Amino acid sequence: MNQLVLTFLRIFFRNRRAIFFVLLLPAGIFLILTFMRVEQILQFDVGLEYTDFLLAGIMAYAIMQMGIYTVSYSLIDYKKQGVLKRLAVSPLSARGFLQAHSLARFAVALIQVAVLLGIGMLLTGSRPSGNVMLLPLVILLGSAVFLNFGYVISAFARDYEEAAPYTTIVGLGLGFLGDVFFSLSNLPALLQNIGEVLPMSALSGAMRYSLFGVQGQHFVFNLIVLCAWFVIGTVVANAIFAKKAYK
């Protein structure tokens, strides 16, 4: 298992496309929106500077990007190259494969958050002041939830062209309703209610509480939402991946 995790990490860091989507793109979005002063045109009142609000949201967004985009496309590559077929006839089960892959991606998620936090501290003066000890748990839950999205998409899609609509629709929908770039309070009541039960807004809110100690009244609810998506998503992803991809 340990060797497989290390192999997945080496594969990831050799993939320039994955590094762009996972690290460079989220950092670029954060810096652009920070210096555009978007908070001047939005309703924004959560007891937090907009740069800090955005920083936590971008961390959640980066974790989502890794789970949905890079995982989907990398596993499609494995299918096309016959890697999954060869592994399927080995003693390694589909569940074991996904567990090792998830552990490797969790390590990447930790690096993502550390890099983005470093950028925020150096360039915008952000300073963590919340319950930082909760951060690894939040990152673990968030990455696991969105990895399940990626596993399901990669199981159904045969190539990049087929996966692109799924990843785009899911990614844009979660980003828009995810409390990432602006507060959900800017949206109509119906969309606010939908956004509150989606994993993106739950992860964003849990990130803000862990880093900056705000919105603590919603933290337990956010954890419940993430845990529900994790349990259901893990069962579904394991079943679909084993049936449609790992064979």
Predicted structure pTM score: 0.85
Question: 55 or 13, which is more confident?
Answer: 55
Distance CA 52, CA 100 (A): 33
pLDDT in tens, 18-44: 677 667 777 777 777 677 666 555 555
Most confident listed range (31-45, 120-134, 220-234): 220-234
What average pLDDT is seen over the chain? 85
Question: Among 31, 15, 64, which Cα is nearest to 168's?
Answer: 64
CA-wise closest residue to 181 among 42, 65, 46, 47: 42
Handedness of CA 173, 48, 225, 9 (dihedral sign): positive
- What 3 state SS string does 177-233 have? CCCCCCCHHHCCHHHHHHHHCCHHHHHHHHHHHHHHCCCHHHHHHHHHHHHHHHHHH
